[in-house]
A and B are shown apart, each in its own frame.
Chain A
Amino acid sequence: MNAPDEPVLELVHVKKEFPLRRRLGEVIRGDHVRVHAVDDVSFKLGRGEILGLVGESGCGKTTLGRMITRLIAPTSGRIVMDGREITGTGGEEETAYRRSVQMIFQDPYASLNPRFRIRDVLEEPLLIHHIGASRAERMRLIEKVMEKVKMIPVRDYLDRHPHMLSGGQRQRIATARTLILSPRVIVADEPVSMIDLSTRAEILHMMKAVQQEMELSLLYITHDISTARYFTHRIAVMYLGRIVEIGATDEVIESPRHPYTRALIEAVCEPVPGRVQRLRELPIRGEIPSAAAIPDGCRFHPRCVFARPECADMTEPELEAVGPGHYAACRRLKEI
């Protein structure tokens, strides 16, 4: 699937910096230490599309998700929905936006208030946005959405508390909670990483079915590129606050162009025999640097096995096309 022409959601040069507590010496010297969690990200999300945002810890994917759901505000850049800018808006526009963009959190044990019953959890969004004139009407909406996520029979679950449900069931409720407002975009932050392997596919399956039925756009944030393969239409790979590669899922996985993507894919373990006696060759050096001290030039160059001296000196590479709908940010694309 190519990048959509009429995107539901578009990010334009979005940045997020966090100031860091400094030691006295640094303050005196005037050093400004900032964590560049998200450092110039732009992409489009189409209608009914599932975009995977893949990266390791500290790459900024969660921060990006939180900016999209307006839990934090970007330091600079714009977030545009249906062509209308929503960064910096407040009041009614903000409330309307919140109805359209919802989030599923990683930890099913923490994202539901343990004191609430399931009916309260699902009623909360309705009450916040004044949907449903009467209790009965709200209950109807709640039952409908519970059926969508296959929590049936509904009666059995309405009066339970979260700790009486399994991890998978809780994620279903969390999904139901996002769906009840009929949003346009759902940001799912590692929705299955804390769920048992044997249930993961079930939850992803359910999410995909719902997504297709309601033509939702889904931003699937994960560090596990293997599940992304089953779930997403396109993948964006993030490194240290930037997108280094983006394209159709199968293409990025089968023909990765950016050295980081290649290293990532090389590193994944597969359930195949014959690996025990062999060491995995990883085309990558060292460890992820701190987001407060981003390397000069191409930020990946200290770890890149293909790096040349120019990679450190020249300005940071931008995303350039390597195929239809497939972009990578590397100076040496043609050579490697």
Chain B
Amino acid sequence: MSAPLLVVRDLKLHYFTSKGIVHAVDGVSFEIAAGETFGLVGESGSGKTSCATALLNIPAPPGRIVGGSILLEGAEITGMSDRDLRRRVRWSRISMVFQGAMNSLTPVYTIRALMAETCREHAGNEHLDTAGTEQLMRRYIGLVGLPAHVLDRYPHELSGGMKQRVAIAIALFLEPELVIMDEPTTALDVVVQAQILNLIKELKHRLNLSYLFITHDLAVEAEVADRIMVMYAGKAAEIATNEQIFGERGPLHPYTRLLLDATPRLHDAAHELAFIPGAPPDLIDPPQGCRFAARCPWARQKCRLQEPPMATIEDGHHVACWKAMKDGEYERS
């Protein structure tokens, strides 16, 4: 495999609030290859959105990247100034479809005006004239499956699905290599969601994109992601391929296992819906050992005292769990 597009090593993002420092992302490492959909799964408070905003260095205040490195095609982008990021990285190489993006389209501007603004903000070195911009906009509106006249419409005149397509078009506009999608289908109806997911897959092939696809829904992740990272309480619990998680053997980390059991499925009559009692730990004062230990049915003394490192169980399957490492050893021998 060629060199990965994005390499994240030991990323740490903390929020400096008046109540204390929230360790939202606390040492997360992963890689995204070119042309790959990398899924990021986690529930509320897991740090998945913070992780995404860290890549573009736009954390919600009072957040700040406090450690780690982000390499985009080998070049470090964590230390870059805001100006450089805006000109050279944001939107032109990494873009983002935010959570609830379809609702954050300014209602007083037409779609054309909204897209043109993005172009102006990020064009940087390339100066497109009006005709060039218009052509580009039409191309992408068409690419996301919308008719050209949508450009003249206002957001409130469009349906939820159409607005989400517009948000995707805006993210693709400057032809980035990596598109971060944060819960792109969560607010959509089931049929529209399926259509958007189809669109996302199509665009990936046509434009050779990589995605960082963030969602809390494992079923949706199964639909799109080549590889998946499961986050819990600011740390990565498991990184594995689609087949490794959803296939026969199933996930190795107890949290992923339980999360999978809690995911409803339509066609498995025998399946009982599981739940995980308890609540995630306080991120201002995280526990000493494994962060999931308090809710884990297999937790031992060691788990509570010592934080497990991310270990490679087999090719492409990494878990941060003492039990999984022990089980894995048994398997290998």
Q: Which residues of A contact B197 (CB under 8 A)?
A: 269, 280
Interface bracket on A: 35 or more
Inter-chain contacts of A229 with B (CB < 8 A)? 264, 266
Contact of B276 with A by CB under 8 A: yes
Q: Contact check, B265 vs A197: say whether CB atoms are below 8 A apart.
A: no
Q: Decide if A284 touches B191 in the complex (CB within 8 Å).
A: yes
Query: In the complex, are the beta carbons of A226 and B264 less than 8 A apart?
Result: yes
Cβ–Cβ < 8 Å partners of B37 in chain A? 276
Chain B neighbourhood of A336, CB < 8 A: none
> Is B217 close to A, CB under 8 A?
yes
* Complex: A200 Cα to B216 Cα, angstroms: 13
Within 8 A of A (CB), among B150-202: 159-162, 189-195, 197-198, 201-202
Cβ of A253 within 8 Å of any chain B Cβ, yes or no, is yes
Chain A residues closer than 8 Å to B275, beta-carbon distance: 198-202, 205
Which of A34-42, A74-82, A173-181, A260-268 contacts its partner? A260-268
Within 8 A of A (CB), among B243-265: 243, 245-247, 258-260, 262-265
Given A196-B216, A268-B190, A270-B222, are A253 and B266 neighbors across the interface (CB < 8 Å)? yes
CB of A14 within 8 A of chain B? no
When the two chains form their complex, are residues B224 and A276 in contact, meaning their CB atoms are under 8 A apart?
yes
Report B204-218 CB contacts with A as 1/0, cut-off 8 Å: 000000000000111
Complex-state Cα separation, A249 to B96, whole angstroms? 39
Which partner residue on chain B sits nearest A265 by CB separation?
B266
Q: Are A197 and B262 in contact, with the CB atoms below 8 A?
A: yes
Q: A267-B193, A282-B195 are in contact. Are A227 and B264 (CB under 8 A)?
A: yes
Residue-by-residue, is B282-298 near A (CB-CB < 8 Å gives 1, otherwise 0)? 00000000000000000
B274 within 8 A of A: yes
Q: Which of A202, A205, A223, A280 contacts B194 (CB 8 A)?
A: A280
Cβ of A303 to closest chain B Cβ, rounded Å: 9
Is B239 an interface position by the 8 A CB rule?
A: no
Known contacts being A56-B189, A197-B259, is A272 close to B246, with CB within 8 Å? yes
Asked if A267 contacts B263 (CB within 8 A), the reply is: no
A200 touches B262 (CB 8 A): yes
Measured between beta carbons, the chain B residues less than 8 angstroms from A253 are 266-267
B265's closest neighbor in chain A, by CB? A270
For the complex, is A250 an interface residue (Cβ under 8 Å from B)? yes
| In the complex, residue of chain B having the shortest beta-carbon distance to the beta carbon of A197 | B262
A225 at the interface (CB under 8 A from B): yes
> With A197-B216, A199-B276, A230-B264 as given contacts, are A271 and B246 in contact (CB-CB < 8 Å)?
yes
Chain B contacts of A265 at CB under 8 A?
Answer: 266
Q: Does B226 contact A (CB under 8 A)?
A: yes
Contacts of B193 in A (CB 8 A): 267, 269
Residue picked from A223, A266, A268, A288, most chain B C-beta under 10 Å: A268
Query: Given that A201-B274, A230-B273, A270-B219 are contacting pairs, would A223 and B189 also be in contact in the complex, using a CB cutoff of 8 Å?
Result: yes
Question: Residue A197 contacts which of B43, B202, B222, B243 (CB distance < 8 angstroms)?
Answer: B43
CB-CB < 8 A to B259: which residues of A?
Answer: 197-198
Does A204 belong to the interface (CB within 8 Å)?
A: yes
Please tell me if A309 contacts chain B, counting CB pairs below 8 Å.
Answer: no
Which residue of chain A has its CB nearest to the CB of B226? A276
In the complex with contacts A199-B275, A250-B269, A273-B43 CB distance below 8 A: no
Question: Which of B44, B162, B191, B216 is in CB contact (< 8 Å) with A263?
Answer: B191
A56 to B190, CA, bound (A): 7
Is B52 at the interface (CB under 8 A from chain A)? no
B98 CB to nearest chain A CB (Å): 19
Residues of B within 8 A of A166 (CB): 279
Whether B51 is near chain A, meaning CB under 8 Å from some CB there, is no
A275 at interface (Cβ–Cβ under 8 A)? yes
Chain A, residues 41-61, CB within 8 Å of chain B (1/0): the string is 000000000000000110000
Docked CA distance A312–B258 (Å): 48
With A57-B189, A199-B276, A229-B264 already in contact, the answer to whether A269 and B194 are too (CB < 8 A) is yes
> How far is A266 from B267 in the complex, measured between Cα atoms in Å?
11
- Asked whether A136 is an interface residue with its Cβ less than 8 Å from the other chain, the reply is no
Interface centre among B220, B223, B274, by most chain A C-beta atoms within 10 angstroms, is: B223
Could you tell me the distance in whole angstroms from the C-beta of B206 to the nearest C-beta in chain A? Answer: 13
| Residue A133, interface by CB 8 Å | no
B contact residues vs A (CB 8 Å cutoff): 37, 43-44, 159-162, 189-195, 197-198, 201-202, 216-226, 242-243, 245-247, 258-260, 262-267, 269, 272-277, 279
In the A-B complex, list the 5 residue pairs whose CB atoms are closest, starting with the nearest. A56-B189, A201-B275, A226-B264, A267-B194, A202-B275
In the assembled complex, 14 residue pairs joining A and B whose CB atoms fall closer than 8 Å, in A order, are A197-B43, A200-B273, A201-B273, A224-B190, A230-B272, A230-B273, A253-B266, A269-B197, A269-B222, A270-B267, A273-B247, A282-B191, A282-B195, A287-B161
With A269-B222, A276-B37 already in contact, 10 other A-B pairs whose C-beta atoms are closer than 8 Å: A196-B44, A199-B275, A200-B262, A227-B264, A229-B266, A269-B223, A273-B243, A279-B201, A282-B194, A287-B161
